[in-house]
Structure 1
Amino acid sequence: MVPASPGRHRVLRWLNHPRRLVRLTPGQRRRFILVIGNTIVTSGSIILQVSTRGNLVVWTLALIAVSLITGILAIGTEWLIVEGTNQSPDSGSARGPAWPRQDQGPGYPAGQAPYAADTTTTSLELPPADPQFIGRRPHLQQLRSMLARTANDGRGAPVLALYGMGGVGKTSLAVQFAEEVREEYPGGVLYLSLGAAGTGGTTSLDAPDPATSLGRLLAALGVRAGEVPPEEEARRRLYHDRLVGRRVLVVLDDAKSAAQVRPLLARVRGCATVITSRRPLGLLEADPFTVGGLDEDDLRELLIRQVGAQRVAGEPDAARQIIRACGGLPLALRLVAARLGANKHWTLAELAGRLSLDEFRSGDVRVRDAIAVSYADLSARSRQAFRLLTLFPSVSLREWAPAPLLDIPVAEAPLVMEDLVEAQLLERAARGTSNGNEYRFHSLVREYAEECLTAEETAEEQRAALARLGGAFLTLAEYAEHLTDPTVPRHGRAGGTLPSHAEHWHVDDPDLLRYAEYGPTRWLLGDCRRVGRMVERAHEHQLWDLCWEMSVVLARVLETVYTVWNRWDDVLRAGLSAATRRGDQRAESIIQQGYGVLRHYQDRFDEAEQHFTVSLHLCQEIGHRPGEAYTLRWIGRSHYFAGHFAAAVHDLENALELSRALGNKLAEARVLRDLCEAYAGLRRFSDAEDAIRTALELFAGDAVEQGADWDVRQPAEAARARRDLGVLLNRRYKFTEAEEQLTSAVDTLTALGHWYWRASAVFDLGMLRLRQHRPIEAEALIRQAYETFHNSGYRYWTAVVGRRIGMLRLEQGRVEEAVEYVLPALETFQQLGLGLWESYTLRVLAWARREEGRLDVADQHLEDAATLAARYDDPWGLMRVRWMQASVWMAQGRPEAVRLYREAAATAARYEEPWQEAEILADLAKALRATGDRAAAALAEAEAEAKAVGTTRRASRWRSLAIGGGRRERRG
């Protein structure tokens, strides 16, 4: 047979296949409609003209026939033009991928037309855009920018790779993007799913190989089945040759590997490829784009669209719970919403109350299946890590976690984590910290992993993995504690005071220890809660030695890393139970100390002293002198906070003597720091300054003779000591050095991340600014400290700083605002049983009542404050109460005020405070003059002037009246 010549019978072929009209691009359809319209209008015009003349019927029929023939010829001509343009080798405006080229492909005999179109053409039309597509507008814009940038950088054939976990909406985003850029690709858009069952429902075993995929693409481009070469490489060459001269966008959905997708890339200038995949494929040709979850606002809008605004508005809390359970996955939300839509009688609260992985389904579509696909693609080691990582005691996972769980080298652990990230089963939570990268599970993925753990790991295997993980935590915790307190030997070193029986995983592994050594205090701050949860899990699995040993570490470091955390009680209770089972009194004593520290920082000072007393008796019974010294120190601190300064000094001096006898320099420095506060409470300022300067020398000094393990150089401890020294110097009016010490303390504590101690140092710096007559700076600093403590729930410090803000408001004449701060502070001190602080606060409240003119109420508050000051043996505080009370009596016209002024002046003289004595004597002179005793008034004035000579005190009178006396305004 003679082969058909090119272009022969083209019009007839087109007329024989009218179904091709539906395959025209939008531009072709518009031209088609325009041709038909023009034909009809022209025919109508001719008919109207002929109708005015004779032979109407004949002429009408003739004109209609001519018009129809003309229209058909016009349509055919238009199509021939389009087809000819589409087939031009050097044309870039092809109109559809299904029209065949008539030139010959490589490897075919001359004269054969291998690409002639026929009815076997396969359509790879883009799926309809998702009608519920929402959000992602910034993502679409970013993809457009990437497409334009890549198209203009010389490559000319962009490849965009969209990565994300199953159900996150990669396919919807790719389809929406393809629809929006369709006009830029007149050659058409090809869509090919690389999974046998479509998106989200396949495994790598189901995925078509590249040869099969190329065959489908070639069929869509008009190549008949019999003309597709069998070899993959030949198909790839034919595919690229078929794309030449066209602008085609190829969407490859649900790709599994680079090998599967690389031969399918439209690497022809003018074309582009969009790939979706669950994990990065490592394609150097591709620009990666990570598809994350939708935010809560977009998910809420999606829920409203599917279940109705009325149902969502009627149950806002349940709607919020459902949205958060979906974790940003639009697929999860749609499945839940579909179930709500199908069950109109369900309330959102009913579904929210039982949400689990199994609830995220509708028909045969389940979120579980999307996760299962990724899980099945993992290696055996990564699958086991995926399961065992659910044993890690926090949502945020450390990068070293797979090492003890799998018992593999620590250096390989990050590789396992990154493999799970690439599979979209984990996501990075933080990067670049001293602890390495952090990761976390999506909530639904974690639930699936927990199911896999139960189904595929025996109870004994889980217990063994948990023991290794706890052993790694114990190794790191003891090493970090040793680095922060060298007097506590790390496991395995000579001199350990507490024999260990628990398994320490890789105790000397430098790859593991490096996670703690670069920032030991930060490690303790960041991981103490994880260690606490490990204690509870060890107790649940009856790992008694591991349980009490980790509890001991936590109990020892609570002073450094304490935080208000309700679960500390459960942690210490579990440790104490395990220590009792083992009959280890030393462990019991340490955990009792931990209980005491916890109660102290919970402002439950009486209970704290009880626990410390039990610990002291245990230490004395077993003859453990370091523990005895530590406990004595804390008992002294408890007395100090209760306002019993003399008892505090007695216990702290005993602790200091014992620490020095043991040669424990770090313990000695800490006791000296506490003694500074107790001495200051008794107004023994010289002794206090000697003690704190000695402590600072120890904290900032060189290693002592025992060697590097006993080095007490501690930046955080030194910063706290500088803060204490700055507060003391402020009280002694040495403002220049006080500012140096406090500023240095704030800077160091900020750098170390000790937010609690930083806030207290900021407060003390604000107090210094008050005495320097810089009230605006002072108030800003004090407010900053107040916000920190108030937001963190620290009642004690919130009350202390709130009382001070109330005093500032009184000085500003804002009495009502002052009372709003003072009354809650008073209530807190009463609830905590802190009588001395109650006395201080009553004095401030009396000041406010006096300003309001309520003199009787003010007098009663001052009487109550005087009673408390006397009960706590606080003569300085009692003096300040009597001084203020004398002013109230003067306002009431009571001559007894003179007696109170004289008592107050005598107390100030006894404590060698000339500026205070001068102010009291000045007030005494006014009182004497009011009673008519002018001679005595003149004598008092002269004495006040003499006392005032050489003093630098220039604070306002009422400020000095209200400043807290006796006890330092701080804790610890």
Structure 2
Amino acid sequence: MEVFRGTTPVPLTAGKLRVLLASLLLGANRTVPFDTLVERLWGENPPPSARNTVHVYTMRLRRALGDGPDGAPLVRTRPNGYALEVAPDRLDVTAFHELLERARRAHTTGDAVEESALLTEALALWQGPALLDVPSESLQRGAAPRLADERLHALERWAEVELRLGRHAEIVGELDALTREHPLRERLWAALMLALSRSGRTGEALAAYRRVRRLFRDEMGIDPGEHVNRVHQMVLTGSAASGIPVSGRAGAQAPGAGRGPWEVAPFQLPPAPRCFVGRTGPVRSLTEFLTSRAYGRGGPPGGAGEAMPVGIVTGQPGVGKTTLALHVAHRVRARFPDGQLYVNLQGHCRAAPLAPSVALGRCLRALGLPGHQVPADEEERIGLYRSLLADRRVLVLLDDAADPRQVRPLLPGDPGCAVLVTSRDDLRGLAAIEGGHRLRLAPMTDEESVALLTGLLGPARADAEPGAVRALAAECARLPLALRIAAANVDALPQTRVAHYVGVLRSRGRLAHLVSPGDEEAAVRAAFDLSYRRLSEPAATLFARLSLVPGPDFAGPAAGVLMNRSPAGAGPLLDTLVSANLVAAGSGGRYRIHDLLGEYAAARAEGDSGAPAARARLFDFYLGTARAATELLHPRARRPPPPPVAGAGPVPPVDEAEALDWLDSELPNLVASARRALDTGHPAHAWRLADALRGYFTSRGHGAEGLAVCDAALAAARRAGDERAEASVLGLMGDIHFLLSRYEEADRCHSGSLEISRRTGDVPGQAGSLFNLGLANVHLGRPGHSIRYQEEALALARRAGDVDAQALSLHHIGIAELLSTRPGLGLRRQERALALSRRTGNGATLCQALAGTGIVAWFQGDLAAALAAFSECLELARRIGNPHLENNALSHLSGTRCDAGDYEQAATDAGQAIGLSRWTRERVHEAAALEALATVRRCTGDTAAALTDYHRALGLAREIHFGYGEVRVLTSLIEAYRADGRPARALHYGRQALGRIRATGLLLSRTRAFAGIAHAHLDLGDEPRAVRYAERALELARRHGQRLVMARALYVYGLTRRALHGPEAALPHWRAALAVFEELGVPERRLLGELVAA
């Protein structure tokens, strides 16, 4: 630590003076309480004269520092401590934070060069480890690691920006040194591997991976995290050279310091069209528009109001909109190195147009976001999508849009991106509001049509019959789709002259022309007719039945099911259709059919007597395979018996990875098939499909898709009058709403399911609904309701002999009993739940019982027992890989450790819980973790940061109707505003807390609230009210066995007695409180010991 007056160093050789100055500087311009200064100067064993000695040190420090510009001392006395007044620009740590904030703003605006410069300037302020020469164990355990972590985070961000700017070779040396200095920072290792690979040093990048893997295994017995392994795969596959590290929103990162946002740039464009000719004007216009408006020509856009380029290609069916868009997209893709997204919006195909929310979900997954992190709410998806695309250059191709409303949610917010849209609609509203460049595509010119046919047929054949080729172009109305199909037909008949084919086209297809003269689509239908008639009967049948596929694309097995053949048996037929240009082959063994061809195929299927049976087989295939896949992934789930399968049954996945891949790939078809089943006389398939996918929807974050399937399934069940199916679907909807923290909606759905289950006599259904209602109501802050529901569920579980269900219900009853001021009964319930769960061997159930046992012990002040239970719960949750239970354990560990005075580890636990909750998108856990972190900050004197976190937690708890969380935060705000010197504000939140406690029935929280309110009244000089609230807090704490809260209430009560009757009146109460504090080993024992000794 260095101090200068102007340019003259100020010597501070005494260690205690450096500790005092460091403490005041860390809380610059704010009051640092006496207790904090004493603890930082002497730790747990301060001398009896500590306060007087602090005063002496402060006078010495004042003399050393001198006065400020206003002539007043820099160190000023406050009622409860001291404050050091210093201008923000005179303190390096403040300058560091200001530069980081400016860098964040530069990141938001997409100015990577400015961001890099600001981060470099911020990091240059560091001359070595923070507080290295400050001899304070407290500061070395708390503030120093926090500052060091801020520096490391800035270094990681700096490395990411340098990589984005292409400075990989320049930073290799520094990254190598940083990984040796900080070997457990995974983001630095990932950056080093990328920098080495992009510098052409692939062998060294792989060696770096081997080094970090060996280090992690030796040090911690685990492998590096997912992002290091992903970068390793990028290096192995050669994609590290083009993959760009991107910054996701803070809430989108995986848990832990090492979970970096390093992702592979998506490349989703379908293959470039074969034999693209002509369209010179449209190609030039679109290319110039997309590349001149997006970054890439020397830097970011010119101003803050720069608009993102939105190119719009409109035109009639078959005119070549998609072909043109793909051709242009491939031409300009190098200008968008962060990736290219492609979405078929299905605006004019047989399936329903793709909902924007579903399209956003696909884009988020393509950008590297795990499925369970994708929000269910459409607005949240839009915000996250735009955050992930911030400061990136990504091209988004939206094919076959229905209208502007479908497009707008998919527009990135960053001007460095570009969007290309195709549609039959003119999208006039999109062009008007978003400033899009609209291009209406006309049929090809005669010359372009002849050139396309020449390219497809070959010059020799085209040149041999130039007149026939021109005639063929005219017959096809110069529409590219018709031209390509006609060329495929001619090419398949090498002995037939082009003129002969033209004659056949005229004779057989003229009826279509006569239907509506001048209708260019008639030419397309004529070409379709000739292609269709040329097919073998099996190929023609398959082509017609492909119109039965409910979604936008399909794979080989679905084609086999339609033909009642094996997947291999349908392969040659698909090859025939691809060769005839009737089906397009995509990546990953999937196929799609043009929307016009789909309409044509549907008309042909109307005359196919086997189509209804084929549709039934297809529904059975989707249902059966979905069921087999989810049984592999979720073997414990309760399901109804499988339905009979028509014809060829499903081919079940062989392992979990294959099961998950199949479900993810077929998700659009699964959602669409539920809707189609409802409309085609197969309602049972809709609700059975919903039930089969129960575990998949709730574990993979597909809330929007799950609710879409449930809507169709619920309508199907009600239409069929199947009440059991209706109850099952309502239960699934409740499960999804619960996981999305929508507790009111979950309560309504499970209530409806329970009502039906009771009416139909479905006992297992009743048990499940009752249990879930208990869960929803405890989160809503209605413990009495929760107990009644869980008691009923427990009785049914006992009747059925389901020990696992008994343990879970007992656990939740115990929690509700505790919150309802019956901690003794709650403890007995938890002990019984713990014994039963150890018997069952179910890790998840045992985790919850351990957490319940810890919660009761914590509330009763038995911190050692609580820590033991929470620690075992955390270890088990990590062993079984359950992030939800891990999150719960971390939040409770943080709170318990904070009470015990282990602030450093408490902050670490809370930080991990926040990261994990944002990764799993569990807002209830995020609110709890934010409250825990805020409490640590309050206890360590950082009141401003604590208040910020408390209010974030309060807003989140209220948004999701998390009643218990709201009450806990409101109670904590009483103490926080008191610590901030604002007792009147503390009383404001005290009144809110008491109101919510009365409304929710969370009566155990009254004790803390009353104690905090008493202290606030005392601060305001209202001793009579302070006494009344303190006495009430003391009475409740004793009644409920809350030993730690009772000791704190005794301390406050002693303060009121001292204020009214002098110090002697306080001593009995303080001695009783001190005995508890010393027994529990909590930090309050030092302050109270000093008061008693004085």
Q: What TM-score do you get using the length of structure 1 for normalisation?
A: 0.53
CA–CA separation in structure 2 for the residues paired with 1:383 and 1:485: 41
CA–CA separation in structure 2 for the residues paired with 1:503 and 1:357: 47
Within the alignment, does 1:740 sit opposite 2:872 as a pair? yes
Q: Does the 8 Å CA contact 1:604/1:832 hold for their aligned counterparts?
A: yes
Aligned residue number for residue 575 of structure 1: 713
- How many angstroms does 1:543 deviate by? 2.0
Aligned residue number for residue 549 of structure 1: 688
What SS does the aligned partner of 1:491 have?
coil
Aligned residue number for residue 929 of structure 2: 801
Within the alignment, does 1:475 sit opposite 2:624 as a pair? yes
- How many angstroms does 1:399 deviate by? 6.5
Aligned residue number for residue 327 of structure 2: 330
Aligned residue number for residue 677 of structure 2: 538
Within the alignment, does 1:647 sit opposite 2:785 as a pair? yes
Flag the 1:458–1:718 CA change in 2: closer, same or farther, 3 A: farther
Flag the 1:359–1:909 CA change in 2: closer, same or farther, 3 A: farther
CA–CA separation in structure 2 for the residues paired with 1:470 and 1:536: 11
What SS does the aligned partner of 1:950 have?
helix
- How many angstroms does 1:727 deviate by? 6.1
Flag the 1:943–1:657 CA change in 2: closer, same or farther, 3 A: same
Aligned residue number for residue 936 of structure 1: 1065
Which residue of 962, 974, 983 maps to 1:846?
974
Within the alignment, does 1:870 sit opposite 2:1009 as a pair? no
CA–CA separation in structure 2 for the residues paired with 1:797 and 1:396: 38
Within the alignment, does 1:319 sit opposite 2:340 as a pair? no
Listed one character per residue, the Cα deviations across residues 521-575 of structure 1 (whole Å, up to 9, x for unaligned) are 9987887775443211212333222223323445x54884374634544432322
Aligned residue number for residue 364 of structure 2: none
Q: Does the 8 Å CA contact 2:270/2:586 hold for their aligned counterparts?
A: no
CA–CA separation in structure 2 for the residues paired with 1:726 and 1:624: 35
Aligned residue number for residue 363 of structure 1: 448
Which residue of 561, 576, 581 maps to 1:404?
561
Which residue of 491, 498, 516 maps to 2:641?
491
Trace 1:795-944 onto structure 2 (pairs within 5 A). Answer: 795-896=923-1024, 897-944=1026-1073
What SS does the aligned partner of 1:643 have?
coil
Aligned residue number for residue 881 of structure 2: 749
- How many angstroms does 1:724 deviate by? 5.8
Question: Letter of the aligned partner of 1:686 in structure 2?
Answer: L
What SS does the aligned partner of 1:319 have?
strand
Within the alignment, does 1:693 sit opposite 2:834 as a pair? yes
Listed one character per residue, the Cα deviations across residues 818-873 of structure 1 (whole Å, up to 9, x for unaligned) are 44443344344445444443332222333343344332122121022112213333
What SS does the aligned partner of 1:468 have?
helix
- How many angstroms does 1:470 deviate by? 2.1
5+ unaligned residues in a row in structure 1: which ranges?
A: 1-141, 146-289, 295-299, 341-345, 430-438, 493-499, 701-712, 959-972
Trace 1:606-645 onto structure 2 (pairs within 5 A). Answer: 606-645=744-783
- How many angstroms does 1:783 deviate by? 4.0
What SS does the aligned partner of 2:710 have?
helix
Aligned residue number for residue 950 of structure 1: 1079
Q: Does the 8 Å CA contact 1:596/1:608 hold for their aligned counterparts?
A: yes
Flag the 1:784–1:358 CA change in 2: closer, same or farther, 3 A: farther
Q: Does the 8 Å CA contact 1:357/1:448 hold for their aligned counterparts?
A: no
Flag the 1:561–1:395 CA change in 2: closer, same or farther, 3 A: farther
Question: Letter of the aligned partner of 1:915 in structure 2?
Answer: L
CA–CA separation in structure 2 for the residues paired with 1:522 and 1:633: 32
Q: Does the 8 Å CA contact 2:958/2:966 hold for their aligned counterparts?
A: yes
What SS does the aligned partner of 1:408 have?
coil
Question: Letter of the aligned partner of 2:623 in structure 1?
Answer: L
CA–CA separation in structure 1 for the residues paired with 2:1078 and 2:849: 33
Q: Does the 8 Å CA contact 1:729/1:738 hold for their aligned counterparts?
A: no
Listed one character per residue, the Cα deviations across residues 144-186 of structure 1 (whole Å, up to 9, x for unaligned) are x9xxxxxxxxxxxxxxxxxxxxxxxxxxxxxxxxxxxxxxxxx
- How many angstroms does 1:519 deviate by? 8.1
What SS does the aligned partner of 1:902 have?
helix
Question: Letter of the aligned partner of 1:406 in structure 2?
Answer: M
Flag the 1:798–1:488 CA change in 2: closer, same or farther, 3 A: closer
Aligned residue number for residue 704 of structure 1: none
Flag the 1:393–1:697 CA change in 2: closer, same or farther, 3 A: farther
CA–CA separation in structure 2 for the residues paired with 1:612 and 1:913: 35
What SS does the aligned partner of 2:1079 have?
coil
Q: Does the 8 Å CA contact 2:847/2:885 hold for their aligned counterparts?
A: no
CA–CA separation in structure 2 for the residues paired with 1:542 and 1:339: 36
Question: Letter of the aligned partner of 1:475 in structure 2?
Answer: G
Q: Does the 8 Å CA contact 1:390/1:446 hold for their aligned counterparts?
A: no
- How many angstroms does 1:883 deviate by? 1.1
Flag the 1:830–1:331 CA change in 2: closer, same or farther, 3 A: closer
Question: Letter of the aligned partner of 1:939 in structure 2?
Answer: P
Question: Letter of the aligned partner of 1:589 in structure 2?
Answer: A
Question: Letter of the aligned partner of 2:975 in structure 1?
Answer: W
Question: Letter of the aligned partner of 2:827 in structure 1?
Answer: S
Flag the 1:472–1:663 CA change in 2: closer, same or farther, 3 A: farther
Question: Letter of the aligned partner of 1:593 in structure 2?
Answer: G
What SS does the aligned partner of 1:574 have?
helix
Aligned residues, how many? Answer: 622
CA–CA separation in structure 2 for the residues paired with 1:939 and 1:339: 78
Q: Does the 8 Å CA contact 2:895/2:932 hold for their aligned counterparts?
A: no
CA–CA separation in structure 2 for the residues paired with 1:816 and 1:553: 50
Flag the 1:876–1:455 CA change in 2: closer, same or farther, 3 A: same
Q: Does the 8 Å CA contact 2:550/2:672 hold for their aligned counterparts?
A: yes
Q: Does the 8 Å CA contact 2:771/2:793 hold for their aligned counterparts?
A: yes
Taking every aligned residue pair, what percent have the same amino acid on both sides? Answer: 20
- How many angstroms does 1:745 deviate by? 0.8
Question: Letter of the aligned partner of 1:316 in structure 2?
Answer: M
CA–CA separation in structure 1 for the residues paired with 2:1032 and 2:959: 32
Aligned residue number for residue 232 of structure 2: none
- How many angstroms does 1:339 deviate by? 14
- How many angstroms does 1:658 deviate by? 0.9
Q: Does the 8 Å CA contact 1:866/1:881 hold for their aligned counterparts?
A: yes
Q: What TM-score do you get using the length of structure 2 for normalisation?
A: 0.48
- How many angstroms does 1:695 deviate by? 5.1
Q: Does the 8 Å CA contact 1:720/1:757 hold for their aligned counterparts?
A: yes
Flag the 1:332–1:514 CA change in 2: closer, same or farther, 3 A: closer
Flag the 1:805–1:371 CA change in 2: closer, same or farther, 3 A: farther
CA–CA separation in structure 2 for the residues paired with 1:417 and 1:811: 69
Flag the 1:948–1:566 CA change in 2: closer, same or farther, 3 A: same
Flag the 1:791–1:693 CA change in 2: closer, same or farther, 3 A: closer
5+ unaligned residues in a row in structure 2: which ranges?
A: 1-196, 201-268, 274-281, 295-300, 315-319, 333-396, 398-418, 423-427, 453-478, 493-530, 1088-1094
- How many angstroms does 1:879 deviate by? 0.6
CA–CA separation in structure 2 for the residues paired with 1:467 and 1:621: 32
CA–CA separation in structure 2 for the residues paired with 1:534 and 1:608: 25
